[in-house]
Structures are given as structure tokens and as C-alpha cells.
Amino acid sequence: MRFSLELIDMQVPFGKTNEPAADSKSFTTGQTWGALRKAWKGYKIAKVQGDRAKMTEYATKIRKLEGELGVPVATFPDLSLN
């Protein structure tokens, strides 16, 4: 089976590199993905607990990290974060 360079290049943004993220000079892409995963977990816990302040805090972090990674940025209409 042959792989084209296009398919290989598509995998780079998904944290398979130790290169710093585009906008981050001190964290690797993998570390940024890890932070994003933890932020989503925190958001889900805050949502179950009904803590809107924490939900807003985590949603803001999620949007910032997604922007740094160059992936589609999540919207949170229930928090007015679009």
C-alpha cells in the first residue's frame, strides 16, 4: 500500500509532533492537545455540577487552545460564547 504525502501531512496537526504549536512558543503541540483534553473534562464536570462560572472559564480555555491548534473552535451558545 502506498501513502501520499498529503495523507501524512494531514496527521501533523493531531499532536503527533513535538514541535511547538503555531501560536505557543513554550508548549509542544502534544502538550497543547493534553491541555485541551483536560479543559474539556473540566467543562463536562462543571456542567454536571451546574457551575456556570467554571463552565465559562473552561469554555474560554477550550476556545483559546483550539485556536492555537488551528482546529475548528467550539461554540457554547448556552454561555453566549460563539
**pTM score, two decimals?**
0.70
- Total domain count for the chain? 1
Does residue 43 fall inside a structural domain? yes
Q: Is the dihedral of CA 44, 35, 68, 6 positive or negative?
A: negative
Query: pLDDT per residue over 14-68, tens digit each?
Result: 545 555 555 546 889 999 999 999 999 999 999 999 999 999 999 999 999 999 9
Which letter, b or e, does each residue of 49-69 get, where b requires 16 or more Cβ atoms within 10 Å of its Cβ?
eeeeeebbebbebbbbbbebb
Does residue 9 fall inside a structural domain? no
Domain span including residue 52: 27-82
- Residue for cell digits 463552565? 55
Does residue 51 fall inside a structural domain? yes
